A and B are shown apart, each in its own frame.
Chain A
Amino acid sequence: MSQIPDITDRARASLDRMMVQGLRHGIAGDAPDADIATADLPARSAATRMVVLSIASYTFRIITALHFNESPQLKAHIAQLGQRSPDAMTHQDFIDAVCEAGNMCCGAINRELGAFYNGLGLSTPQILDIRSLPHMQRLGAQHLRHFRIDLAADLRLHASLCVRAYERMDFDWHAQEPAVGAGELELF
Chain B
Amino acid sequence: MELFLSFAGGAAACALVSGWWIRRLQRQLASQPAAPAQDPELLAAHHQLQAQVDLLQHELQQANQQIEQEQQRLPMELQSLEYNAQAKTQTLVDGALTHTNALSASLAELQGISKTFERWHADMSQLVAHNKGMHEKNDEFARIVSQMIIVALNASIEAARAGTTGQGFAVVANEMRTLSVRAETLSKHYRDNLYQNDLIATTVFQDMQAGGKMVINATTGLEITNRKVQAALQA
B217 contacts A119, CB within 8 Å? yes
Cross-chain contact B214 with A119 (CB below 8 angstroms): yes
Interface contact A123-B206, CB-CB below 8 Å: yes
Contact A54 B203 (CB under 8 A): yes
Q: Does A82 contact B (CB under 8 A)?
A: no
| Stretch from B35-43, B64-72, B89-97, B193-201 that touches the partner | B193-201
With CB as the reference atom, state the residue of chain B lying closest to A57. B214
Q: Which residue of B lies closest to A65 (CB)?
A: B199
On whether A121 and B210 interact (CB within 8 A), knowing A54-B203, A128-B202, the answer reads yes
Q: Mark B114-125, 1 if CB is under 8 A from A, else 0.
A: 000000010000
| Residues 35-62 of A at the B interface (beta carbon under 8 Å) | 52-58, 61
Q: Is the CB of B206 within 8 A of A63?
A: yes
Residue B213 lies at the interface, judged by CB distance under 8 Å to chain A: yes
User: Known: A119-B217, A119-B218, A121-B217. Is A128-B199 also a contact (CB below 8 A)?
Assistant: yes
Known contacts being A61-B207, A126-B206, is A136 close to B214, with CB within 8 Å? Answer: no
Q: Say yes or no for B166: interface residue by CB 8 A criterion.
A: no
**Interface contact A135-B199, CB-CB below 8 Å:** yes
Q: Complex: how many Å from CA A56 to CA B212?
A: 9
Identify which of residues 87-140 in chain A touch chain B, using a CB-to-CB cut-off of 8 Å.
Answer: 119-124, 126, 128-129, 131-133, 135-136, 138-139
Residue pair A123, B195 in contact (C-beta under 8 Å): no
Contact with B along A62-96 (1 / 0, CB 8 A): 01000000000000000000000000000000000
Contact B203 A129 (CB under 8 A): no
Does B211 touch A at the CB level, under 8 Å? yes
**Measured CA separation A65–B70 after assembly (Å):** 84
- Assess the A56–B207 pair: CB atoms within 8 A: yes
Measured between beta carbons, the chain A residues less than 8 angstroms from B211 are 56, 121
Asked if residues B210 and A56 are in contact (CB atoms below 8 Å), the reply is yes
Quick one: given A52-B202, A121-B213, A139-B203, are A129 and B195 in contact (CB under 8 Å)? yes
C-alpha gap A133/B128 in the complex (Å): 16
Using Cβ atoms and an 8 Å threshold, which residues of chain A touch B111?
none
Report, as a range, how many residues of chain B touch the other chain.
20 to 34
Interface residues of A, count at CB 8 A: 25
Does residue B146 face the partner (Cβ distance < 8 Å to A)?
no
Residue in chain A with minimal CB distance to B196: A135
Interface check B209, CB cutoff 8 A: yes
- Chain A residues with CB under 8 Å of B128's CB are 126
Report B-chain residues with C-beta under 8 Å of the C-beta of A136.
199
Interface positions of A from 134 to 159, Cβ below 8 Å from B: 135-136, 138-139
Beyond A56-B214, A122-B213, whether A132 also contacts B196 by CB under 8 A is yes
- A25 → chain B closest CB, angstroms: 19
For A123, the closest partner residue in chain B by CB is B206
Contact status B198-A129, CB under 8 Å: yes
- Give the CA-CA distance A61 to B216 in the complex, in Å: 17
Q: Closest CB-CB distance, B97 to chain A, in whole Å?
A: 28
Query: Separation in Å of the A159 CB from the closest CB of chain B?
Result: 15
The one of A52, A57, A120 in contact with B206, judged by C-beta atoms closer than 8 angstroms, is A52
In the bound assembly, the distance between CA atoms of A121 and B219 in angstroms comes to 13
From residue 152 to 199 of chain B, which have CB atoms closer than 8 A to chain A? 191-192, 195-196, 198-199
Q: 23 A-B Cβ contacts within 8 A? A: A52-B202, A53-B206, A54-B207, A54-B209, A55-B210, A56-B210, A56-B211, A57-B214, A63-B203, A63-B206, A121-B209, A121-B215, A121-B216, A121-B217, A122-B210, A124-B209, A126-B128, A126-B205, A126-B206, A131-B195, A132-B198, A132-B202, A135-B196
Give 13 A-B pairs besides A55-B210, A121-B216, A138-B196 with Cβ atoms closer than 8 angstroms: A52-B202, A54-B206, A56-B211, A63-B206, A120-B210, A121-B211, A121-B212, A122-B213, A126-B202, A132-B195, A132-B198, A132-B199, A132-B202
Q: For the complex of A and B, list the 7 residue pairs with the smallest distance between their C-beta atoms, beginning with the closest.
A: A56-B210, A121-B214, A54-B206, A121-B213, A123-B206, A121-B210, A132-B199
